[in-house]
Structure 1
């Protein structure tokens, strides 16, 4: 008997240029020591795949790294459609990147499906001496939008795994609920199929 095909989940990283989205993605998708590097801003779009196991189910995470530069904005946001989860990233040493989070949230609500999961990351928490955004401001913004919040460091691999694991768990719990909800038993005890199901 052939093994079941893995579930495919599409995630998108969004945020301004140079907040560390590529570094966050590499810290998660390519764990282990890497030589120190100064990454150039992503040009256009890039993605990596990471396979995880959730409740004995193999899940393939397809994680898209979008460019934050304004000239790539239309290209980046066209990848929002079909995504089940978003990782919104700002830089704790850059106030403009924090202020732009509301703009990115609006873009997600306009161009992505309604039932997406979102997490907020305040990246570069290893640069405490350069901090301009207090942790409490990140927590407050996340609370206002009803989404989880983590302060992360791609350099020191702080909270990266925890953040992606929580996002994946929220998405997969929802998918499992939807799959189980496909069969409906009516009051007469007969089973019937739902005619549609939004994933």
Structure 2
């Protein structure tokens, strides 16, 4: 659904939660299932635990880095595709650090 409504190629992350239950011997979905699903949809994959906080920060930071990287790349390619109109370049008007 995200790809259907998005006009751009954006990073998507599939997050498996409750990985702490694996330690308790609970009947859990294997990690390999999540990895295969992520490969099918060409997304990132990680497992987290909201209960003990495992991998939550890492997952958010990794996704944020990719979103930032993608936005920076899109911005650079956008500016590179603009024609040079020969307008004089203005120097920034900084009031400090001169």
Q: TM (normalized to structure 1)?
A: 0.38
Alignment partner for residue 12 of structure 2, among 118, 138, 141? 118
1: CA distance, partners of 2:51 / 2:68: 28
* Structure 1: runs of 5 or more not aligned: 1-106, 193-199
Asked if 1:158 corresponds to 2:57, the answer is: no
In structure 2, runs of 5+ residues without a counterpart are 86-98
CA distance in structure 2 between the partners assigned to 1:115 and 1:135 by the alignment: 26
- How many Å separate the matches in 2 of 1:115 and 1:157? 29
* Cα separation, partners in 2 of 1:184 and 1:116, compared to 1, 3 Å: closer
Residue by residue, what CA displacement relative to the aligned partner does 1:52-108 show, whole Å, maximum 9, x if unpaired?
Answer: xxxxxxxxxxxxxxxxxxxxxxxxxxxxxxxxxxxxxxxxxxxxxxxxxxxxxxx22
Number of the residue aligned with 1:10: none
Q: Which has the larger radius of gyration?
A: 2
Which structure: greater strand fraction? 1
Please say if 1:178 is aligned against 2:74: yes
- CA contact under 8 A between 2:10 and 2:70: conserved in structure 1? no
Cα distance in structure 1, aligned partners of 2:16 and 2:31 = 8
TM-score by length of 2: 0.71
Structure 1 ranges of 4+ moved more than 6 A: none
**Number of corresponding residues:** 83
Matched-pair contact (CA < 8 Å) for 1:126–1:153: yes
Q: How far 1:185 sits from its partner (Å)?
A: 7.2
More RCO (CA 8 Å, sep 6+)? 2
The structure with the greater share of residues assigned to helix is: 2
